[in-house]
Amino acid sequence: MGKIGLFYSFNSKKTAKIAGIIHNAFSGIDVQLVNVDEVNKDHFLEFDNFIFGVPTWFDGELPNYWDELLPALEEIDFSHKKVAVFGLGDQKGYPENFCDAIGIMVLFFEERGATITGNYPLEGYTFEGSKAVRDGQFLGLPLDQENQARLTSGRIERWVEVLKKEFN
Amino acid sequence: MKVLHDMPVDKIFTIKNTDKVMLEKWLYLMTIGRIIDEKAPNYLKQAIGWSYHAPYAGHDGIQLAIGQIFDKEHDHLFPYYRDMLTNISAGLTAEEIILNGISKAADVTSGGRHMSNHIGKPEWNIHNVSSATGNHTLHAVGVARAIKYYKGNGVAISSQGESSVSEGYVYEAINGASTEKLPVIFVFQDNGYGISVPKKDQTATRKVANNFAGFKNLRIIHCNGKDVFDSINAMTEAKKWSLENQMPCIVQANCIRIHSHSNSDRHDLYRNDAELGYVLDSDPLLKFKRMILRYDRLTKEEVHAIEERAKEEVKAAHKSAMASPDPDPASIYDFVIPDPYPALKYPEGVHNFNGEKKKLIEGINETLKAEFRLNPDTFIWGQDMANKEKGGIFNVSKGLQQEFGPSRVFNGPIAEDFITGTANGMSRYNQKIRIVVEGAEFADYFWPAMEQYVEMTHEYWRTNGKFSPNVTIRLASGGYIGGGLYHSQSTEGTLATFPGIRIVYPSFADDAAGLLRTSIRSMGPTLFLEPKALYNSPVAATPIPDDFEVPFGKARIRRAGTDLSLITYGNTTHLSLKVAERLALEGLNIEVIDIRSLIPLDKEAILKSVKKTGRVLVVHEDKVFGGFGGELASIIGEEAFEYLDAPVRRVGSAFTPVGFSRILEAAILINEQKIYEAARELLKY
């Protein structure tokens, strides 16, 4: 298996906590933790497999730390690399844009050749719209700590099992 | 139906490809704006002024973008009270912003007349808008109608907060822009709150623009209003698309409100620490600076130099503005309403023409046609205005569309506020334009347009004489047709309480024609009330000279007398004349004064008559209580008391709605017998 990097903001609270759970779920497999707040484009060249932690801010936006970073990655060729995205959202408070940030991230890396992995079924979620949905499934793992925190660990376990098989 | 709201937006401007000079300019403008935004509350603390300040911090991206795409040669911009950076970005100087904030005479928006933070520059087509938030959407639609008609190659840009989209007139505006396919960009700056009211209490959809997704001919673009590049790209695309397609576009910009709504609000009462923290973390100006530095577009030293230059400009602007003179209290009566067309052909508004008699409806219809033939920049619209042989609810405008075409004569939707508000808006395009609207099917239905009526009366004064809506509002008024509560109302008692509009109410065909001609040719708004019961009445028919014109503020002595003055207008002119004839048979000589014009009022003619007769009966169709007669009676009491031999009396309708049953209507509306009895009482003195 190639090198795996788990990218998220170390300054975040909920996302960092989830990243820790995901990291643990990969027990026995080397997953490096990378702080998005301090990263530059060279860090992305080091990995073959990526897990990105991307909460949705406001009514469907990337957090600043991702939004400000993406222009630096525009020229990188992600062909032959696999990308999986997880994100936190709020189905009740923001049902029209549930985990939009997952969809925005996926689109960006797809356009640069990445293979997206870690799709997740819609069952169990209730919302109205999301950029993270395509062809009847989520493009990554949506987590809702506001309304479905008790389901989070199960969802992570299921998702990580898929990633273990999918990553090169 | 083609779905327009999911179309992609080109990323023309990015942090990496935007010209360095442009980035420097943007940073400079944003810094100037933020310095003033943060400094404004200090003026209030020091009791200098700026008592209303709605800080824009958190809206920086979209406001910079609106100003940057605005072209004052072709576009029209309607910024709202939080749009300080929009104005700066559009070209206003720091000094102009401060002059507005501290209400100085040199304030380009209004000379200190309008509230602080309501910034504009009418001579640049940056319009001075109301505090009735969002009502300028109708003005934007109106001026876009003119842009399209005159092929102006521009757009109207209306900006507002997302909460004000809840106002019904905003829906009317967007519906109208969609129906007429007009080049308007409606910008919704969404910061999540209407003062303290969260979005969830405004509408069920978090992104209120999506409420309009079912409207045809309307594109919707969402952008991050906190992000300069996303906002510039969205506004650039919106303008390009609106111009190319001649259709409206909504841009909903997701913003944050870093501070309270205004200096009278305390947001810590309803926002928790976590929220206050994350909005600070999302400060758009800080983000822009981080991006500039991160991508090596400017050095720290260059950023610092720009910030220092901005500080110096604001410092100099402050010093200059503080030394600028205050408004002169003696100027309060300047620019209440423009001088009217002088109507010099018939200076007293009377004639000796002896041609064929024409009905009142013919007088209005033929005058409209004559004025439309004379002036190609005339327009008329209203409900039931134009469909084959139908021309107005009473066919007053019959034949106009056939002769002048559907671009100048057209139907309005059943939306009185829209009809009135777009007239205000369209007349902004140039001062040659003259607009006539049938404000409602009947005057009784004009009430939804009240807020636009009030706007109409404010414009000339509020802009310190820079803009007057040149509009004649026609309303079929009054009762005596068995019409009940909503086809019988007299509205002038209420509508005459607003300074800034002329009000006329003719009772004969010739006066209707002459006053309408003068109204259409004048600058400023005129409310033209038509006694619909007299449209086809032979008693109101008169000969009408083709060129007849009646000056405003000229009463007409319809019957001369010496024993009693009946002061009246509209339907009751005819009732008064009948009473005078009846009393003449009893040997009494009654004078009947038809004031014709309520505002301005011919006080001279009224007082002259009172001095001659010593007895006055004020007669009108409206209710006595709260009717315009109260003003007439008090003027006479104050200015002619010593000439009176009897108390001033008023007669009018009962203080009830007008009943539908003919029996009830007769009991409520003023009639000949009641006038006769009141006159007889006065003649006893």
pLDDT 10s digits, B605-623? 999 999 999 999 999 999 9
CB atoms within 10 A of CB B335: 22
Give the pLDDT score at B392: 81
Burial string for A123-148 (b: 16+ CB within 10 Å, else e) reads eebebeebbbbeeeebbbbbbbbeeb
Mean pLDDT of B84-91: 98
pLDDT band at B480 (very low <50, low <70, confident <90, very high): very high
Active-site residue, from B53, B487, B574, B620: B487
Answer yes or no: is pLDDT of B341 > 90.
yes
Sheet containing strand B184-190, edge to edge, reads B76-78, B156-161, B184-190, B249-254, B219-224
Tell how far CA A127 is from the center of its chain: 19
pLDDT 10s digits, B635-645? 999 999 999 99
Give the pLDDT score at B290: 98
Find the angle CA(B337)-CA(B340)-CA(B346) to the nearest 5 degrees.
150
pLDDT band at B5 (very low <50, low <70, confident <90, very high): confident
Measured between alpha carbons, how far is B47 from B617 in angstroms, rounded to an integer? 52
A59, A131, B230, B254, B256 from B192: Cα distances, Å: 10, 21, 19, 8, 7
Mean pLDDT of B99-119: 98
Give the pLDDT score at A96: 94
At a CB cut-off of 8 Å and minimum separation 6, what does A1 contact? Answer: A29, A49, A167, A168
Q: Where are the domains of chain A?
A: 4-166
Is residue B343 within 8 Å of B548, Cβ to Cβ?
A: no
CB nearest to B15's CB, from A59, A71, A97: A71
pLDDT 10s digits, A35-90? 999 999 999 999 999 999 999 999 999 999 999 999 999 999 999 999 999 999 99
What is the DSSP code string of A21-84?
HHHHHTTTS-EEEEEGGG--HHHHHT-SEEEEE-PPBTTTB--HHHHTTHHHHTT---TT-EEE
Answer yes or no: is pLDDT of B328 > 70.
yes
| Distance of residue A68 Cα from the nearest chain B Cα, in angstroms | 7
pLDDT 10s digits, A79-132? 999 999 999 999 999 999 999 999 999 999 999 999 999 999 999 999 999 999
Is residue B540 within 8 Å of B586, Cβ to Cβ?
A: no
Query: Quick check: A71 and B281 CB within 8 A?
Result: no
pLDDT 10s digits, B197-215? 999 999 999 999 999 999 9
Start-to-end CA distance of chain A, whole Å, equals 5
Let me know if B239 is exposed, middle or buried by CB neighbors in 10 A (0-12, 13-18, 19+): buried
Mean pLDDT of B280-298: 97
Answer yes or no: is pLDDT of B354 > 90.
yes
Percent of chain A with pLDDT over 70: 99
Local structure of residue A165 (DSSP, 8 states): H
pLDDT band at B409 (very low <50, low <70, confident <90, very high): very high
| Distance of residue B288 Cα from the nearest chain A Cα, in angstroms | 9
Query: Quick check: B227 and A68 CB within 8 A?
Result: no
Give the pLDDT score at A137: 98
For chain B, say whether A154 makes contact (Cβ under 8 Å): no
Residue B228 backbone dihedrals phi, psi, to 5 degrees: -60, -50
CB nearest to A58's CB, from B254, B287, B295: B254
- Inter-residue long-range contacts of B3-9, CB under 8 Å, 24+ positions, other chains counted: B4/B217, B4/B218, B4/B219, B4/B220, B5/B209, B5/B210, B5/B213, B5/B218, B5/B219, B5/B220, B5/B221, B7/B219, B9/B221, B9/B223, B9/B233, B9/B234, B9/B237
Helix axes B300-323, B284-294, angle to 10 degrees: 140
The first and second tokens of residue B244, run together, are: 């190319």
Is residue A118 within 8 Å of A165, Cβ to Cβ?
A: no
Answer yes or no: is pLDDT of B1 > 70.
no
pLDDT band at B391 (very low <50, low <70, confident <90, very high): confident
Domains and CATH numbers, chain B: 20-323 (3.40.50.970), 357-543 (3.40.50.970), 556-683 (3.40.50.920)
For chain B, say whether A96 makes contact (Cβ under 8 Å): yes
pLDDT 10s digits, B41-54? 999 999 999 999 99
pLDDT band at B458 (very low <50, low <70, confident <90, very high): very high
pLDDT 10s digits, B553-593? 999 999 999 999 999 999 999 999 999 999 999 999 999 99
Measured between alpha carbons, how far is B412 from B423 in angstroms, rounded to an integer? 11
Mutate which of A41, A62, A64, A91 to disrupt the B interface (most B C-beta within 10 Å)?
A64
pLDDT band at B393 (very low <50, low <70, confident <90, very high): confident
Answer yes or no: is pLDDT of B60 > 90.
yes
Measured between alpha carbons, how far is A68 from A65 in angstroms, rounded to an integer? 6
Task: For residue B392, give the H/E element and its range.
Answer: none
What is the DSSP code string of B318-341?
HHHHHHSPPPPGGGTTTTSSPPPP
Task: For residue B14, give the H/E element and its range.
Answer: none
Mean pLDDT of B292-315: 98
Task: For residue A148, give the H/E element and its range.
Answer: none
Q: What amino acid occupies position B670?
A: I
Q: Where are the alpha helices (DSSP H) in B556-602?
A: 571-585
Which positions in chain B touch A58 (Cβ < 8 Å)? 254, 256, 282
Percent of chain B with pLDDT over 70: 100
Query: Quick check: B256 and A72 CB within 8 A?
Result: no
Residue B197 backbone dihedrals phi, psi, to 5 degrees: -85, 120
For chain B, say whether A64 makes contact (Cβ under 8 Å): yes
- For residue B157, list its beta bridge partners: B77, B185
Answer yes or no: is pLDDT of B388 > 90.
no
Which three-class secondary structure state does DSSP give residue B440? coil
Residue B12 backbone dihedrals phi, psi, to 5 degrees: -75, -40
CB atoms within 10 A of CB B214: 10
Give the pLDDT score at A123: 97
Is residue B110 within 8 Å of B59, Cβ to Cβ?
A: no
Query: Quick check: B206 and A57 CB within 8 A?
Result: no
Is residue B329 within 8 Å of B460, Cβ to Cβ?
A: no
pLDDT band at B266 (very low <50, low <70, confident <90, very high): very high
Answer yes or no: is pLDDT of B160 > 70.
yes
For chain A, say whether B256 makes contact (Cβ under 8 Å): yes
Percent of chain A with pLDDT over 90: 98
Give the pLDDT score at B305: 98
Mean pLDDT of B429-438: 97
Q: Classify strands B526-531 and B564-568 as parallel, antiparallel or unpaired.
A: unpaired
Give the pLDDT score at B498: 98
CB atoms within 10 A of CB B582: 16
Answer yes or no: is pLDDT of B3 > 70.
no
Which three-class secondary structure state does DSSP give residue B354? coil
Mean pLDDT of B653-665: 97
Measured between alpha carbons, how far is B536 from B424 in angstroms, rounded to an integer? 31
Level-2 CATH architecture, domain A4-166:
3-Layer(aba) Sandwich (3.40)
- Mean pLDDT, chain B, as a whole number? 97
Give the pLDDT score at B2: 60
Q: What amino acid occupies position B141?
A: V
Q: Classify strands A82-88 and A141-143 as parallel, antiparallel or unpaired.
A: parallel
pLDDT 10s digits, B122-149? 999 999 999 999 999 999 999 999 999 9
